[in-house]
Amino acid sequence: MAQSLTQAQTRNDYGMLSDRTRMRMVERLRQSGVKDERVLAALYEVPRHLFVDQALATRAYDDVSLPIGHGQTISQPLTVARMTELLFAGRKQGKVLEIGTGCGYQTAVLLKMGAEVYSIERVAALLDTARQNLRAARLVHARLVHGDGHFGLPEAGPFDGIIMTAAAKTLPDALISQLAEGGRLIMPIGDNEQHLWLIENTSTGLQKTRLDPVKFVPLLPGRT
Ligand code: SAH
C-alpha cells in the first residue's frame, strides 16, 4: 500500500512537470507535418506518462515507441497523431472501432477527439492495464472488449472509423463489412515490410490508398 501511494505521488509530480514537455512534443508533431489542430490538442491534453510504466515516464513524450509488457509496444506520438488525423480527416467522427487497445493511449486520444469509442484487445491483462490507465486519465467512456479484432465487432457496427494498431498480413473482410458509407479504415498491412493503408467506403465503392512505411507488432489470432 505504502509503495503504491509513493508511485502515485511520483506519477503526479511528473504530471505537473510534463506540461512544457507536452508542449514541446506538440511542436515537434507540428514540424513533422501534423496539421489538424484538434489532433494536436488531443495529444497535448492526454497525459501520456500515465500510459507507460513508471520507470519509463521520463521518456513518455519522446518520439519513440515504448514497451508496455506482453511483448507489445505503445506507438510513437507521431504515428498516433498521423493515424488519428487520417481517421478523422478534419471531420467529426461518430462511432470508432479501435483494434489493439494495448495500454489505452490511442483509445484516450480518440476519446479526446469526441468519438464514441469501442476498442478490442486480445490480451486480457493488457485490457485491465488500459482500463486502469484510462481511469487515471479520467477518460472512462470507451467500451473495452476482450476479443480477436480480426472479426471486428459486428454487434456494435457499422463504424464511421476503424483504426487498427497491429499489422495484419491482409485486409480482414469482416472489417470492410462493418464500415459505414463514408467510413474510413486506417491500418498497417504487411509482414516484414509494412505500410499504412487508408480504405474509404465511398458511394462508388472501396478506395484503397497505400501510405507511409511503418513498423507495427503483428495482429495475432485468438485471445489470451
Ligand atoms: N494502440 C496501442 C498499441 C498497442 S500495440 C497503444 O496505444 O498502446 C498493438 C496491440 O494489438 C497489442 O496490445 C496486441 O496485444 C493487440 N493485438 C494483436 N492482435 C490482436 C487481435 N487479433 N485482436 C485484438 N488485439 C490484438
Q: Give the ligand 1 atom nearest the CA of 68.
A: 8
Cα separation, 137 vs 68, in Å, equals 17
Q: Is 217 in the pocket of ligand 1 (CB under 6 A)?
A: yes
DSSP 220: -
Q: What is the mean pLDDT of each run of 10 residues along the chain (224 residues)?
A: 49 62 95 97 95 90 94 95 95 92 98 97 97 96 97 97 97 96 97 96 96 95 93
Cβ atoms of 157 and 97 closer than 8 Å: yes
Check residue 224 and give its pLDDT: 94
Check residue 5 and give its pLDDT: 46
Check residue 3 and give its pLDDT: 45
Check residue 2 and give its pLDDT: 43
Q: Is 93 in the pocket of ligand 1 (CB under 6 A)?
A: no
Residue among 48, 17, 51 at smallest CA distance from 131: 51
pTM: 0.93
Q: 99, 139, 151, 189: which to mutate for ligand 1, most atoms within 8 A of CB? A: 99
How far is residue 140 from each of residues 73, 81, 133, 152, 174, measured CA to CA in Å?
Answer: 22, 21, 10, 21, 27
- What SS3 class is residue 183? strand
Check residue 15 and give its pLDDT: 57
Residue among 14, 21, 108, 29 at smallest CA distance from 37: 29
DSSP 84: H
Task: Tell how far the Cα of 217 is from the centroid of ligand 1, in angstroms.
Answer: 8
Q: Give the ligand 1 atom nearest the CA of 220.
A: 19
Domain with residues 7-214, CATH architecture: 3-Layer(aba) Sandwich (3.40)
Check residue 91 and give its pLDDT: 87
Task: Tell how far the Cα of 17 is from the centroid of ligand 1, in angstroms.
Answer: 29
